[in-house]
Each structure stands twice: as C-alpha cells, then as structure tokens.
Amino acid sequence: MDSLNKLREDINLIDKELVKLFEKRIEKVIKISKYKNENNLPIFNQNREEEIIKRNIENKEESTKLLIKNFLKYIMDVSKDVQRDKVSQNKEVDVINYKKCKPIVGFQGEKGSFSEQALLNYFGKDISTRNLTEFEDVFTAIKSNEIDYGVIPIENSSTGGISDIYDLLRKYGFQIIAEKCIKVDHNLMAVKGTRIEDIVEVYSHSQAFKQSSDFFKEYPNFKLIPYKNTATSAKFIKESGSKEKAAVASKEAGRVYGLEILKSNINNNKNNYTRFMIVGKDLEVNDNCDKVSIIISTPHRPGALFNILRYFSKHNINMLKIESRPIINKPWEYFFYIDFEGNLNDEKIIKAVDLIKEESSYFKMLGNYKSDSNLN
C-alpha cells in the first residue's frame, strides 16, 4: 500500500496538471468573451452547459456522476465570472438606453396590472411586451430567449418581501439590472350598476387583500377569493358580468376592463409602494449602479452569519436589507438575500464581495443596478 506521503505527491502532480489545463481553458474563455462582446451574444448559455455536463458524465459510475457534475458547474461558473469581468472592462453598458435595441419585455398578469405599469414607467411605451400567466413563466421565457427582460414584484412597503420571487431568483440565477418603485392604490370595483350591498365574492391577489385588511373588516360577509393577479381579477369580473362579484385592482385595470370603482384607495397604508425588479440573463454594470444584491448561505455553525455581516461594517458599506428563505431538505438552515449600497467597479466593494464569497458555503451575485428612490 502506498504511503500517505506518496499519495500526497501524486495529488500534487495531478493538481499541477489541472492548473495547467485550467489556465488553457481560461485563455479560450477570454477569447470567447471577446467574440460574444463583439457579436452582442449572452454570456450564459443554458443548453451549452447542459450539453457539456451530459457528455462528460455519460457512461460514468453513478457514484461519481454528481461529483463530476458539481466540478464542471464550478469551473463553468468561474468561466462566466471571467467573461463578465472582461465585458465590464471593455464595454460600458447603458442600462437606460433600451430604445436602440427594442427588447421584448415580459410581465406576469394582464394589461392594467401594476407590473405592466412598472414596465411602462421604466422602459417607456415604445416597447414590445408580453404578458404571462405565472411568475415562473417570466423566468422560463427569459431562459428560452422568448423575452429579453422580465418585470417582477419583489417587495411591498406594507407586507414585505414576496417569498416566491426570492426562490425563483435563486433557482434561475438571472441578474437584476434595474428596479422600479410604483405607488400602489387598491380599489374595489365591479360591473356598472353594482351596489356594495350586492357583493358576495371579492377576487384579487392575496397581497392586495393583506394590504387592504382594515377595509374588509368593515364587510365581514364578503368572501375573499385569492386570484392570480389584481388585473386578472378585474378581467374575470368583467367577463362574469355578475353584480355579486367584485375585484380589488388598480384604477388603470378598472379603466381597461370598463369596471365601476365603488371604493377607491382602500389599502391600509396610504403610502403603499411595491418594488419591482427588471431581470435579465447577464450582469450589466455601469457607473450609475449604486445597489448590489447577492444570495448567500453560511456554514451551519455559531457566528457564521456574523462573520460575513462584519465585512459591511469593516468596509463602511451600508447594508439595506436582509431576507431569509429556508433551504429545502435542511431544516433550520437558510439562504440570505442581501441588498447593499455599492458599485462592482469600486475596489472596496470588490474586496468585500470576495471576502463574503470566501466565508459563504453558497454565493450568488444577483445584480448591480441603479436604485429607484423616486417615491411619488
């Protein structure tokens, strides 16, 4: 049997060869990033990655397939980071000037929704849009290149973060390239000629019901029925034609579907805002970006999260938000979604991010973008 020293010497030789091969791979990656930059191609290619993994685990022992898959995914993640660094060094991306490329932008819900309002406020009206049924449909449409960007709600000033969106951001690994804050006023509406006394059922998104809970305490006989989207609810009421049904939605949705507003601004908080994210496949950074979003998880040991959060204080970085989500199949362990001020071209931010990566058991960059503080 080989001695421990002999085995370690063998590993040292293997590592040396691995480093040489890795350096060769990075040389090719840099050339590919240049080609993609010149031809306006996305950095991330899901089909290509799946093909590489499938080809390399084919005919391998079941016990090693997962190890090889994880190894390849790590190498490809590093390669994508190198490509993004090269793109950001050689190309100044103008996040605002979309009119030149006329992208297709998707949102969840129907016309008249708050998501569509956020989309139009950010991109303008001269844009191709696509409305989709579920939040995840927005992400799958980006993945399949059916749309270039998606607009999704992530947080409300009254009811907090939307957990499903945090989970989808981690699952698909797309980048936040902008945010837009929209003032949200909820309105009770029904087909023309309806009286409040006629209403039996009210349809809307569950968030709208939560944000208008004080109003509905005055009408305990109403049956509140959660629906996909506020605007979808308005459309449903229009199509039903029933005076026993009502919806909670925006005034714009009422206008689009020809409904009569019975009670306006029924939300509890009169300064009620929803923060929407504009999501795309690739990291887009310019000098105007002042907000960074990341996902991390920590080793399951005392002080692990503190060790990471101390880097914000140490580098004088303002942390804006932290939100936790449970890790499936790992009871009492969590992913942490963190927003903080900064620009990824700033040396201080780069250093802090590198240190956070080292301390984290999982790390994902979610984006660097311009914050929207225009609450009006």
Catalytically active residues, by annotation: 274, 276
CA 341 to chain centre: 17
What letter would DSSP give residue 327? P
Q: Name the H helices within the chain.
A: 4-38, 46-57, 62-90, 114-123, 135-143, 163-172, 206-211, 213-217, 230-240, 251-256, 304-314, 347-359
SS3 state of residue 79: helix
Interhelix angle 62-90/4-38, rounded to 10 degrees, is 40
- Distance between CA atoms of residues 280 and 268, nearest Å: 33
186: left (phi over 0), alpha (psi -120 to 50) or beta: beta
Cβ-in-10-Å burial (0-12, 13-18, 19+) of 322 comes to middle
CA distance 337 to 359: 15
